Amino acid sequence: MDLKDQRVLVVGLGKSGVASALFLKSRGARVTVSDSKPEAELHNEILLLLEHGITVETGGHGDRTFRGQDLIVVSPGVPVDAPMLVQARNQGEQVIGEIELAARFLPGPIAAITGANGKTTTTSLAGEILAAGKIPVLVGGNIGTPAISFVEQATPQTWIVLEVSSFQLETIVDFRPHIAVILNITPDHLDRHRTFTNYVNAKARIFENQRADDFTVLNADDATTAALHDRTRAQIIRFSRKKEIENGAFVRNGAIFFRDGKHQTEIMLQSEIPLKGAHNLENVLAAICVGMLAGCPPQAIRQAVQNFKAVEHRLEFVAKVAGVDYYNDSKATNVDATIKALESFPANIHLILGGKDKGSDYSVLNDLLRARVKRVYTIGAAAAKIESQIHGAAEIDHAETLEGAVKHAAASAVPGDIVLLAPACSSFDQFQNYEHRGQVFKEAVRSLAETNASR
């Protein structure tokens, strides 16, 4: 793909937008960047881009900006049906995302991992498994480092392990991972995708360009994911924590095995997994599939899993204060993730719920709330909706803010209880992102611990 003197527009000044603009400029393209945020919110990004001779438009998208472009690279946060993008496509302009741009230049194999929940943990673990197996690997995508940033350092032998979201998959054209993993599909982002069917179809795009010598890894225990088996041309590898698998990873009598039809290999004992929860067992099984398909020795896989630390903001233990354990699962941005978090603890939970609603049905939490939760503390814009849908399933404390929720929970909890941030909502009503929300929670808990220690 020759970019020299091509007119390229990058829409959105997030991490992937900035990285794309700098890459395109380095390849000789005439780059313009457009973002709807005001100039004051993008000060650092603007300075960086201007230093490299990139034209920047802020505070909205001008009609003329989108005309006459040879290529438009759109950030994941920009809806694909935005009027200016629809108009651009109607005028014959090509619209792609950063993940598609990167794939056109990355020289080695890609392992792409998607799912409603567990993407970050599985992607991180898969990267560590490959590294333990002495396989050159770079890890990024939706997890943090944009894929386009790897182009200059990757070789044909370098594996690129990417977390990919449904938003990123909406804008692919030729993106073809050698290994495509779908962990699970449960309702999420319905405010963007509108229907669950649309969401499923977006996830399924991960394998639409695969060929017979590629691999599609599917969760055999998740009905929606398992049903996608007839939509891929790749070789199907499955994983299951509930039953034995002909091709893939499974659990038998407390041990994890990988089977490739004729041959069966014991990888490790289930008791050696350091992560809490049945959902994390599924994440480990998926990562083991990636490792085995990439050629990692079983002993290296076992060692990588044993040494793996929980990813920040994913069921992360923060502290024990006055006999109460505090867990940060800020990454639980949908109802299914909150269900998985609740299933990781048997009882005595003080649950913090709320944030920006994504069109979710919170009533599906009610059985677990009755069985395991002492009290729910609601925060953010979705509080009223949540309270109406869980009414009667648990005591409710309308805390409004995260700091307030931590204080109220600390006052109510007794030794042996658990305070769990698993909000089932996005963070964008009160925070910059889920990481910011998790940091605020951890700071509130640390402050609580300091106050308790000084008494």
Q: Rounded to an integer, what distance in angstroms lies between the CA atom of residue 195 and that of residue 190?
A: 6
Sole residue written with tokens 């939970």: 349
Burial class (CB in 10 A: 0-12, 13-18, 19+), 242: exposed
Is residue 229 annotated as a catalytic residue, yes or no? no
The answer for residues whose C-beta is within 8 angstroms of residue 427's C-beta and 6 or more apart is 330, 333, 355, 356, 433, 434, 436, 437
* 103-197-290-14 Cα dihedral, nearest 10 degrees: 40
3-state secondary structure of 162: strand
Q: Give residue 156's Cα distance to chain centre.
A: 26
Choose the catalytic residue: 178, 189, 279, 331.
189
3-state secondary structure of 424: coil
Q: Give residue 376's Cα distance to chain centre.
A: 25
Identify how many contiguous H helices and E strands the chain contains and give both numbers: 16, 20
Contacts for 364-369: CB closer than 8 Å, 24+ residues apart: 364/335, 364/339, 365/335, 365/338, 365/339, 365/390, 365/393, 365/424, 366/390, 366/392, 366/393, 367/393, 368/339, 368/342, 368/343, 369/342, 369/393, 369/394
Is residue 366 annotated as a catalytic residue, yes or no? no
For the chain, the distance separating the N- and C-terminal CA atoms, rounded to the nearest angstrom, is 65
Choose the catalytic residue: 119, 203, 279, 340.
119
Choose the catalytic residue: 25, 61, 117, 142.
142
Is residue 142 annotated as a catalytic residue, yes or no? yes
Length of the chain: 455
3-state secondary structure of 245: coil
- Least Cα distance to 376 among 434, 318, 419 occurs for 419
Which amino acid does the sequence have at 52? H
CB neighbours of residue 343 within 10 Å: 14
Q: Rounded to an integer, what distance in angstroms lies between the CA atom of residue 12 and that of residue 249?
A: 39
For the annotated catalytic residues, the residue numbers are 119, 142, 189
